[in-house]
Structures are given as structure tokens and as C-alpha cells.
A and B are shown apart, each in its own frame.
Chain A
Amino acid sequence: AQKVTQAQTEISVVEKEDVTLDCVYETRDTTYYLFWYKQPPSGELVFLIRRNSFDEQNEISGRYSWNFQKSTSSFNFTITASQVVDSAVYFCALRGFYNQGGKLIFGQGTELSVKP
């Protein structure tokens, strides 16, 4: 079975603080993909990043960075110098390579609130 766990339901920080959103996954597939999506108050989920299981290199995109560690089955997301516009619900998701139709398994989501 495949599963994604985001243990942090809500996080509240003050602007300019760094914040890390945790994601732990379970899968028996040797090939799989991991994703992060952002859901702002408007409701539409926005794609942030995709990593495949063979690429453990960490990635940085502006204030966003991702730490993928297969040894601990984790794919954590860090926002540096957070801003009010980062306030949203963030979802981590997993797709096994052989999932028919590209089915994504989502975590429960972490609601991030960045206060000015």
C-alpha cells in the first residue's frame, strides 16, 4: 500500500521566519514520483515540484528548497524568509511508476499561516 503522512496539521510563523513542512511516505515501488502542491485561499492547487526516486539531489528554487532522503522516506519542504503570500495549504503527494492512470496519493495537508 502507498501512503503519505504530513504530521503537521497547522503551522503558524511570523514573516521572515524559516519554516519546514514535513512529508513522510510509504511505498513498495522502486520507481516513484514525489510532488508538492500549494493550495492558496482561491482553492486551485498549484504544482511546486516533482522528484523521481532516482534523483536524491536536493533542489532550491528561490526561497523554496526540498530535501529528499530515501533512507528515511522523507521529502521535506523548507521556505526561507517566509512571506504572508506563502500562507496556504501545502500537500505532499506520491505516485508509483506503475499506478494506472497516474493516480496520486496525497497527504493530509499542512496549513501554513504566515503573520506579518
Chain B
Amino acid sequence: DVKVTQSSRYLVKRTGEKVFLECVQDMDHENMFWYRQDPGLGLRLIYFSYDVKMKEKGDIPEGYSVSREKKERFSLILESASTNQTSMYLCASRTGRPGEKLFFGSGTQLSVL
């Protein structure tokens, strides 16, 4: 089975800190995604990557950046964490074939104080 692993389940950071959220997948998937989940808003796409060193902005990229130096790893970076970035962050991956399903990690609940 495909496994998508997010480095932390819970994370507490202070306002202004630089935060790294790591995601690793083990199935050689081309595409990787970072979503943010908030009550009443569903999942909103922050960034995605369709290849190593390639990235595209999603719907809410402000305040975030990403890095994909290796195919299996996709990192989300909060340059200067703010309280409105308190949220559940979900990483996902899939193959490049049309219509393929996403595989998700368990999520990281980030609290910014």
C-alpha cells in the first residue's frame, strides 16, 4: 500500500517562527499536494508539485512556500508563522495519470500561539 508520512501529528509554534512541515511518500508519485483543512471550509489547496523542483500555487499560497528537492519529499514552509495559520495541514500524493486518486497522510495539526 502507498504510504504518505507527515513528520508530526501535532505541532505548537510561536508567532513569527519559521515552520517546516515535512511529507514523504513511498510510491514514486509524480504529483504531491499540500492542503489546509478548516471547519466549514473543507480542504483548500496551498501548493502542489508535479515534478522535482517544480511547484505551482494553489488557491491560498500567501504566507507559505514549498520545496521539492527529491521526488519522494515535499516540504511546506511557513516563513513567519501567524495565528491565522493555525490549522490542520494535509499532504497528498498521486500518480500523473488522469483520474487517479489521491493518497493522504494523517495530517499535522499546527497551533500558532
Binds A, one of B14-22, B48-56, B76-84: B48-56
Q: Are A91 and B99 in contact (CB under 8 A)?
A: no
Closest to B4 in A: A44
Residues of B within 8 A of A44 (CB): 104-107
- How big is the B interface, by class? 20 to 34
CB distance from B1 to the nearest CB of A (A): 11
Q: Shortest distance in angstroms between A35's beta carbon and chain B's nearest beta carbon?
A: 7
Q: A43-B107, A45-B90, A47-B102 are in contact. Are A100 and B50 (CB under 8 A)?
A: yes
Using a Cβ cutoff of 8 Å, how many contacts connect chains A and B? 69
A residues with a Cβ closer than 8 A to B are 4, 6, 9, 33, 35, 37, 42-47, 50, 52, 91, 93, 95, 97, 100-104, 106-109
7 additional contacts, CB 8 Å, given A50-B101, A108-B41?
A: A35-B101, A35-B102, A44-B104, A44-B105, A46-B104, A95-B99, A103-B33
**24 A-B pairs whose Cβ atoms sit less than 8 Å apart in the complex:** A33-B98, A43-B88, A43-B106, A44-B105, A44-B107, A45-B90, A45-B102, A45-B104, A46-B104, A47-B103, A52-B99, A91-B42, A97-B98, A101-B33, A102-B102, A103-B45, A103-B48, A104-B33, A104-B43, A106-B43, A106-B44, A107-B42, A109-B42, A109-B43
